[in-house]
C-alpha cells in the first residue's frame, strides 16, 4: 500500500510502498477513506513530542471501512464504517482506567504516535477503541470530528456552565466547538492571529458574537477561555480576560512555555487546567451530539501524496477549518 512515512523528525514525510498491515485477534483492518491533519501531527513531525515510533505513519482522525476483523473481534462487521481516534489502547486495569479516566492511563498507546495511523491506504486498530460514524457525514467531513471535535468537546465541558466563552486559536477544533457552544446557548468570543481578518470573519459566520486579535480586549468579560493555539504567552492574556471563578482551559497536547505572571491574575479562584487526550465516553457523547447541532465541518481535501503540503498549510494557518487527506 501507499503510505506517507515520518522517517525522521523535522524532515518531510516520504511516500513509500509498504506492506498492508496484518490484523491481530482484537483488531480490525480498515481501508482509509479520509484522515484529518491534526496539529498534534505537526508536533510529532517537528520533534516536539518525544519518542514516537519510527518510522511512523501519522494520522489519528481516521474514517474508513472495515475490510478484515481479527478472530476475536466482535464489535464491527465487514463493510461497517468506523472512526479511529487518537486513543488507541489502554491497559483497562490501572487506577485511571478504573476511575473513568482512561485518557490518563500511563500504558496508553496512541494512534499515529505509538502505532501507525491513517496517512496511508490501510490501517489497523483495536476495535474496542473505534467508533461508529454518524451517517450524515461523508468520510472527508467526518474525519475532523475524531480529534478536533473530540478534544474541542472535552475542552468545552471543562468550562462548566460558562456562558461567555473565549476561544484562542481559531483552527479546526475552534470551528467545530463554536457551533456546539452556540447550540448550547453560549456566547463565543473568537481570538485569532493578529491581522487575520479572514479567520475573524469565518468565526462570525459560525456564530461568534465578536472576533478580534489574540491580544485584543473583547467587549465583555469572559466566564471561561479555551486556548487551542500552542502559545504559552496566551495563558496570562486569557487570565486577564476571565472573571473571578473562571477557568482557562489549555486544549493542546503541546504548548510553548508559559511565562511568569503575577499571582493577582490567578487570584479570585481562577483556574488553569489542561486537557489530556480523550475517553471513549467523550467520543460516544460527541458523535451522538454532532448531527443534532448539526456540526458542519469546513474541510480542504488533499491527495495522500500531498501530505507535506497539507501539513505546511496547517502550520501556516492558511486554512479555514480542517485539512483532510483522501487516499
Instruction: Please tell me the distance from the alpha carbon of residue 204 to that of residue 191, in angstroms, as a whole number.
Output: 11
Note the pLDDT tens digit of each residue in 253-309: 999 999 999 999 999 999 999 999 999 999 999 999 999 999 999 999 999 999 999
Instruction: Let me know: does 102 contact 129? Beta carbons within 8 Å.
Output: no
In the structure grid, which three cell numbers stand for residue 187, read together?
Answer: 456566547
* Domains defined along the chain, listed by start: 2-145+278-326 (3.90.180.10), 150-274 (3.40.50.720)
Torsion-angle region of residue 277: left (phi > 0), alpha (psi -120 to 50) or beta? left
For residue 37, what is the DSSP state? E
* CA nearest to 164, candidates 179, 191, 186: 186
* DSSP secondary structure string for all residues of 83-125: EE-SEEE--S-SHHHHTT-GGG-TT-EEBTTTB--SSBSEEEE
Instruction: Please tell me the distance from the alpha carbon of residue 242 to that of residue 222, in angstroms, as a whole number.
Output: 5
Helices 148-157, 280-289: crossing angle, 10 deg rounding:
100
- Report pLDDT for 93: 98
Per-residue pLDDT of the chain (327 residues; tens, 9 = 90+): 999 999 999 999 999 999 999 999 999 999 999 999 999 999 999 999 989 999 999 999 999 999 999 999 999 999 999 999 999 999 999 999 999 999 999 999 999 999 999 999 999 999 999 999 999 999 999 999 999 999 999 999 999 999 999 999 999 999 999 999 999 999 999 999 999 999 999 999 999 999 999 999 999 999 999 999 999 999 999 999 999 999 999 999 999 999 999 999 999 999 999 999 999 999 999 999 999 999 999 999 999 999 999 999 999 999 999 999 999
Instruction: Let me know: does 301 contact 326? Beta carbons within 8 Å.
Output: yes
Name the pairing type of β-strands 27-37 and 322-326.
antiparallel
Amino acid at each position: 500500500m501507499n503510505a506517507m512515512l515520518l522517517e525522521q523528525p523535522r524532515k518531510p514525510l516520504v511516500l513509500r510502498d509498504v506492506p498492508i498491515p496484518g490484523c491481530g485477534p482484537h483488531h480490525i483492518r480498515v481501508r482509509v477513506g479520509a484522515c484529518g491533519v491534526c496539529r498534534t501531527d505537526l508536533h510529532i513531525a517537528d520533534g516536539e513530542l518525544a519518542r514516537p515510533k519510527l518510522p511512523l505513519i501519522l494520522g489519528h482522525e481516521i474514517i474508513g471501512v472495515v475490510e478484515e476483523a481479527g478472530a476475536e473481534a466482535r464489535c464491527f462487521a465487514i463493510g461497517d464504517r468506523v472512526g479511529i481516534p487518537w486513543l488507541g489502547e489502554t491497559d483497562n486495569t490501572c487506577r485511571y482506567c478504573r476511575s473513568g479516566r482512561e485518557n490518563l492511563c500511563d500504558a496508553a498507546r496512541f494512534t499515529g504516535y505509538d502505532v501507525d495511523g491513517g496517512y496511508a491506504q490501510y490501517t489497523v486498530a483495536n476495535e474496542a477503541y473505534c467508533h461508529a460514524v454518524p451517517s450524515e457525514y461523508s468520510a472527508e467531513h467526518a474525519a475532523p470530528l475524531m480529534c478536533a471535535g473530540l478534544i474541542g468537546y472535552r475542552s468545552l465541558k471543562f468550562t462548566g456552565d460558562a456562558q461567555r466563552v473565549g476561544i484562542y486559536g481559531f483552527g479546526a477544533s475552534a470551528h467545530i466547538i463554536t457551533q456546539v457552544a452556540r447550540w448550547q446557548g453560549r456566547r463565543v468570543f473568537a481570538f485569532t492571529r493578529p491581522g487575520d481578518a479572514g479567520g475573524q470573519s469565518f468565526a462570525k459566520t459560525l456564530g461568534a458574537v465578536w472576533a478580534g486579535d489574540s491580544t485584543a480586549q473583547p467587549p465583555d468579560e469572559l466566564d471561561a477561555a479555551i486556548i487551542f493555539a500552542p502559545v504559552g504567552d496566551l495563558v496570562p492574556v486569557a487570565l486577564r480576560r476571565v472573571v473571578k471563578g473562571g477557568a482557562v482551559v489549555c486544549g493542546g497536547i503541546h504548548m510553548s512555555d508559559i511565562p511568569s505572571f503575577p499571582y493577582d491574575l490567578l487570584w479570585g479562584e481562577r483556574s488553569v487546567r489542561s486537557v489530556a487526550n480523550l475517553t471513549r465516553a467523550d467520543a460516544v457523547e460527541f458523535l451522538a451530539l454532532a448531527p443534532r447541532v448539526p456540526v458542519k465541518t469546513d474541510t480542504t481535501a488533499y491527495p495522500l501524496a500531498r501530505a507535506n503540503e497539507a501539513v505546511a498549510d496547517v502550520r501556516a494557518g492558511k486554512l479555514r477549518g480542517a485539512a483532510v487527506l483522501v487516499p
